[in-house]
Structure 1
Amino acid sequence: MAKLPDPIEWKPSPVEHIKIKSDFLRGTIKESLADETTGSISKDDTQLIKFHGSYQQTDRDLDAERKKQKLEPLFSFMIRARVAAGIATADQWLVFDRLAVQYGNGTMKLTTRQTFQWHGILKRNLKKTMQGINSTLVDTIAACGDVNRNVMGTSNEALSPLVPEVAAFAKKISDHLLPKTTAYHEIWLDKKLITEGQTDDEPLYGKTYLPRKFKIALAVPPYNDTDIFANDIGLIAIGEGKELKGFNVAIGGGMGMTFGNEETYPRLADIIGYVPKEDALKVIEEIVKVQRDYGNRENRKLSRLKYTVDRLGTEVFKQLVEERSGITLQPAIEYEFKQNGDVFGWMKAENNKWYLGLFVEHGRVKDVGDYKLKSALRDLARIKVCDFRLTGNQGLVLGRIDEPDKAAVEKILKKYNVYHLDKLSGLRKHAIACVALNTCTLAFAEAERYLPKLNTKIEAILKEVDLTNEDILIRMTGCPNGCGRPFLGEIGLVGRSLGKYNLYLGAGFSGERLNTLYKEMLDEQAILAELSEIIPKYAEERNKGERFGDFVVRKGIVKSGQTIKTI
């Protein structure tokens, strides 16, 4: 075996300097919170507060008018929780719901990373909201920032008897990779250092943490409902009967790119082998450490693990992990994924508990007209007959329901006009949209507020050719950073400017093939015109059981995008 490469000494980027001088993520956050002359925090603190689970944002709908009135932007904050595998109790749900009303914009967002977000928190209420979240034994540390973020895992126990152990392992990973700094507790929970002069130590991360964000997801075949190949580390659960034996390990996935910069690209993870479950945590830790030591700290656009893997080579990266961990990865074990969307409706698990998969349009928990989702879920939490399990597709599963309680659940859902899956098209059920405008600072275009309207118009095309019930994956984001995993949509729409989108086609239905750019800078009329040509062809010329993404590749409408590989 050839000599393995040494880590590179990078010229630190401005964000690296902020981390270096932050005193383990403290910065001047306390002082920024105390400054009543502005609704914002200092520039450096906007980077550091991400590690604490929050982003500073503005209401971009109002920016121009406020500027005209010589007012500063209407600053507010988004808070994101850390909830491994997305499982919350009824009591936690009630507190989260109350905080959304008391301090936020009245809604909760269920995210594509299987956790909760609160939007519209004013600076003066930021600390109180953080403390409210922590009162439920849930925190927000490491939900954002250059660290391992919320660990995803299949949460619906009716899908496989392996799910409980997989979800528990997701939490174990999350706890193991958690930053050790006490800054979070000091700033938000008013906890003091144990001894005067005590210093922090980050044995895993060091003073500069990781070069960029890091994402881990677990899935249980045949359901790739967490899109593991879009993650820095993807873990495919391998079982024998009801027993979890270990994981196939995939590395180097990531969705983000930058328009006009060919050095950036979406990428699916490579499978580098199999590891027994007792060795998995050590292998995961060493993958993180290799990224810590070899990742690009000079150019943040090239700092994700996928670029480190491509720069070093997958084989060399694997050798580094094996040498450091002392664990030799075994050949990957055969598996099969059939889909990466959610499963809806009632399902019974082997523990005789019932699970109900619910549709939550783009993850926004709110009441709209007669459709009172937020009220229904609040009432369900109050009677404490279920827990609440978020999915990686912005959906929700009501879990661990006893047979006698099913009727009570149905009654509440019907009272608020929620349980109507039979009225949803296959397109709408699986649609994903990021927050985008009006609060995301990176968005060029609408997504969450617009995709429901666009879907209605696409549904009219589908109805014409009797494809209303056909499951098709459509995903929309307001920018190319990929929060809604648009490059894994059979139809992907990525915002370029207000009202204009790049149209991507041809992803695989199970999340194992990227889509391909079809046409650029399309407005709504152009998007509908293109789909009005392609969808009828799909209806007439598809093979039996052929998915939309497979069809457009087979017919040469687009070339095949990247597919996963096993080394």
Structure 2
Amino acid sequence: MAAKPSGAEAIKSASAGLRGTIAEELAQADAPGGLSEAAYTLLKFHGTYEQFDRDTATARKQSGQDKDWQFMVRVRAPAGRLTAAQWLALDALADEDSDGTMRLTTRQGLQFHTVRRGKLTHCIASIEEALLTTMAACGDVARNITTSPAPRRDALHARLEREAFALSAALLPRTRAHHEIFLGGERVGEAEEEPLYGPTYLPRKFKTSLAHPADNTPDILSNDLGFIAQTDQAGEVTGWIVTIGGGMGMTHNKPATYPRLADPVTVIGPDEVEAMARAVLRLFRDHGDRSDRRHARLKYVVAERGVEWVRERLSEDLGRALPPAPPLPKLEVPELLGWHDQGDGRLWLGVPIPSGRIADRPGMRLRTALREAVARFGLDPIATPQQDLILSNVRPEDRTALEVLLRGHGIVLAEELSPLARWSLSCTALPTCGQALAEGERVHAPIVAQVQASLARHGLLDERISLRLTGCPNGCARPYAGEIGVVGRSPGIYALFVGGDFEGTRLSFPLVDKLRTEAVGATLDPLLARFASEREPGEAFGDFCHRQGPDALRALLTPAVAA
């Protein structure tokens, strides 16, 4: 007997193409309480999550007040590319509809937080007016397409960018519900045919990326679907290695859930990206688990059915026998922060954005600095998978003036940061994310400071090490694919993972199950000390931890630092 579909499946099935009662509920801007479960579920497809301020929830409840309800709104920006005009339009929305800040995501998108119900429609409509969209930025569909953010003016990077935009457009749902609800479109109220997704869309979210071996900044193997470019000597794409089955999410103490890196499955021709993506989506649509959302990701289909089964199903779908994939090439992660030559006579400047948060704070007016830089110099911003921002198309004669402008607002540029600070990620977590078990963004700086102090003690401050911090095991900041992963378990308590590689081709292993926030640096200190004294020539920290193994590393730990 087939398992009963989850509640989310029933909501999607009865939604009339993602419409449900969203419009009616949003019209009640001053209504008490949150939205219905159905509206909450369906709004994800439109790029927004209803949330509440978790910092104030207990006190408000004790005083008889409702929760402080608000929305997160996510912009879908293929390849992270934005024009100067689009950036300025989004910057204006930060004040009009949000909390005066914006946040770059690890999937090259951009988010607004604390958007009120009465402002939601205006916020989303304004994003659409800027020729962007929030549609399919969340939900059980193909999410934002990521790729190398480097604005190099060569054939390879132009192809990656072009494929990302084309794929993003091709995989959008067909429903007109988004236009009806948020853009004043004619109310049809009936579900359009969704030839790719079907009436219940996908079992869960679906993440896609394109990369080339010399630039794996998108962490391509952490995606459900990846395309790794094969090129000739001129840099023209001659084919793509297709990787399938990656995903970061897991649940603590649930061994049936786990992070996973994608497997290379097959190789395709240079013009077959869209056809393959559609075939993989159909495979997931038809074979993903629709009864248990914790088991509903494509990675479990691949893990349990095997690569050969996946290749056979795709071969049947496409009507031809697909060859096995060749061995993966060596993947590298280049430095994209700082100054670089674009290759067309102009420059780009990669600006570090701590935790991706674009805000004006005492001593560092980051949002103002970026707004003035984009407006004054006509720069096109690019969001990176590391939550940083590339300012592209800088005229060489404007280089000094741009630096003076940024530094005048207190902006810390890449050369002033340690490699650890440059290569650290964190999710938003508390106080807005409903999934957060512990802090993320708000403890990012102190945790980085702890580890930096330990690195300095052992002469390792210039060592390139990736650290990823998340407030829950869902893994939005890809903690299991870095060298150090810090994953929230409960307020002030984290699990510690080590042993992944900087290039994103090996997962970390759990080292400590429960660790206090203030003990992260002290726990890593003996590992870093041993690394400094016993590393092999050229060995990275993650490689050292992998070579030592969990038992040897645990023997170095001081029990008192654990919770």
More off after superposition, 502-511 vs 456-465: 456-465
Q: CA deviation at 1:492?
A: 0.5
More off after superposition, 343-352 vs 26-35: 343-352
The answer to whether 1:424 aligns with 2:441 is no
Q: 1:475 to 1:495 in 2, by over 3 A?
A: same
The answer to whether 1:352 aligns with 2:381 is no
1:58 is matched with 52
Aligned residues: 551
2:95 is matched with 101
Residue 162 of structure 1: SS of its match in structure 2? helix
Residue 441 of structure 2: SS of its match in structure 1? coil
Contact 1:226 1:392 (8 Å CA) reproduced: yes
The answer to whether 1:30 aligns with 2:23 is yes
Alpha-carbon distance in structure 2 between the residues aligned to 1:153 and 1:239: 16
Q: CA deviation at 1:218?
A: 1.0
- Corresponding residue to 2:270 among 252, 277, 287: 277
Contact 1:226 1:340 (8 Å CA) reproduced: no
Contact 2:79 2:146 (8 Å CA) reproduced: yes
Alpha-carbon distance in structure 2 between the residues aligned to 1:453 and 1:542: 27
Alpha-carbon distance in structure 2 between the residues aligned to 1:89 and 1:133: 13
Contact 1:107 1:364 (8 Å CA) reproduced: yes
Amino acid at match of 1:400: N
2:82 is matched with 88
Amino acid at match of 1:208: T
Contact 1:10 1:296 (8 Å CA) reproduced: no
Q: 1:191 to 1:505 in 2, by over 3 A?
A: same
The answer to whether 1:218 aligns with 2:218 is no
1:563 is matched with none
Contact 1:154 1:218 (8 Å CA) reproduced: yes
Residue 450 of structure 1: SS of its match in structure 2? helix
- Corresponding residue to 1:238 among 230, 235, 238: 230
Alpha-carbon distance in structure 2 between the residues aligned to 1:559 and 1:26: 55
Q: 1:352-431 counterparts in 2 under 5 A?
A: 352-431=345-424
Q: 1:279-294 counterparts in 2 under 5 A?
A: 279-294=272-287
The answer to whether 1:20 aligns with 2:13 is yes
Q: CA deviation at 1:527?
A: 2.4
Q: TM-score, normalised by structure 1?
A: 0.94
Deviations 1:135-174 (A, max 9, x none): 1000100000000000101121239641121011011111
- Corresponding residue to 1:206 among 195, 198, 202: 198
Alpha-carbon distance in structure 2 between the residues aligned to 1:369 and 1:203: 52
Contact 2:380 2:393 (8 Å CA) reproduced: yes
1:565 is matched with none
1:529 is matched with 522
Amino acid at match of 1:239: T
Contact 2:213 2:332 (8 Å CA) reproduced: no
List gaps (5 residues or longer) in structure 2: 554-563
Q: 1:38 to 1:198 in 2, by over 3 A?
A: closer
Contact 1:490 1:548 (8 Å CA) reproduced: yes
Deviations 1:199-258 (A, max 9, x none): 511111111000000000111221110011011001111111231222110000000011
1:474 is matched with 467
1:259 is matched with 252
Q: CA deviation at 1:558?
A: 5.7
2:556 is matched with none
1:128 is matched with 122
More off after superposition, 332-341 vs 219-228: 332-341
Alpha-carbon distance in structure 2 between the residues aligned to 1:159 and 1:41: 47
Residue 38 of structure 2: SS of its match in structure 1? helix
Residue 169 of structure 1: SS of its match in structure 2? helix
1:5 is matched with none
1:75 is matched with 69
Alpha-carbon distance in structure 2 between the residues aligned to 1:497 and 1:340: 32
Q: 1:412 to 1:526 in 2, by over 3 A?
A: closer
Q: 1:559 to 1:336 in 2, by over 3 A?
A: farther
Q: TM-score, normalised by structure 2?
A: 0.95
Q: CA deviation at 1:385?
A: 2.7
1:322 is matched with 315
Deviations 1:505-548 (A, max 9, x none): 10011000000000111113432322111111111111222110
- Corresponding residue to 2:511 among 515, 518, 539: 518
Q: CA deviation at 1:463?
A: 0.9
Q: 1:294 to 1:172 in 2, by over 3 A?
A: same
Alpha-carbon distance in structure 2 between the residues aligned to 1:410 and 1:532: 36
Contact 2:18 2:45 (8 Å CA) reproduced: yes
2:175 is matched with 181
Deviations 1:466-523 (A, max 9, x none): 2111111111111101111110121111100111000101001100000000011111
Q: CA deviation at 1:553?
A: 1.4
- Corresponding residue to 1:310 among 299, 303, 310: 303
Alpha-carbon distance in structure 1 between the residues aligned to 2:201 and 2:253: 29
Pairwise CA RMSD of aligned residues? 1.8
Alpha-carbon distance in structure 1 between the residues aligned to 2:274 and 2:144: 16
Q: CA deviation at 1:323?
A: 1.2
Q: CA deviation at 1:293?
A: 0.6
Alpha-carbon distance in structure 2 between the residues aligned to 1:157 and 1:238: 19
Contact 2:249 2:258 (8 Å CA) reproduced: yes
Contact 1:432 1:484 (8 Å CA) reproduced: yes
Contact 1:249 1:274 (8 Å CA) reproduced: yes
Alpha-carbon distance in structure 1 between the residues aligned to 2:451 and 2:362: 23
Residue 174 of structure 2: SS of its match in structure 1? coil
More off after superposition, 205-214 vs 455-464: 455-464
Q: 1:467 to 1:372 in 2, by over 3 A?
A: same
Alpha-carbon distance in structure 2 between the residues aligned to 1:459 and 1:94: 35
1:151 is matched with 145
Residue 418 of structure 1: SS of its match in structure 2? coil
1:165 is matched with 159
Q: 1:337 to 1:93 in 2, by over 3 A?
A: farther
Residue 532 of structure 2: SS of its match in structure 1? helix
Alpha-carbon distance in structure 2 between the residues aligned to 1:357 and 1:558: 39
Q: CA deviation at 1:557?
A: 4.1
Alpha-carbon distance in structure 2 between the residues aligned to 1:501 and 1:340: 27
Alpha-carbon distance in structure 1 between the residues aligned to 2:487 and 2:209: 23
The answer to whether 1:138 aligns with 2:132 is yes
List gaps (5 residues or longer) in structure 1: 1-7, 561-567
Deviations 1:179-204 (A, max 9, x none): 000000000001115xx787511111
Q: 1:197 to 1:539 in 2, by over 3 A?
A: closer
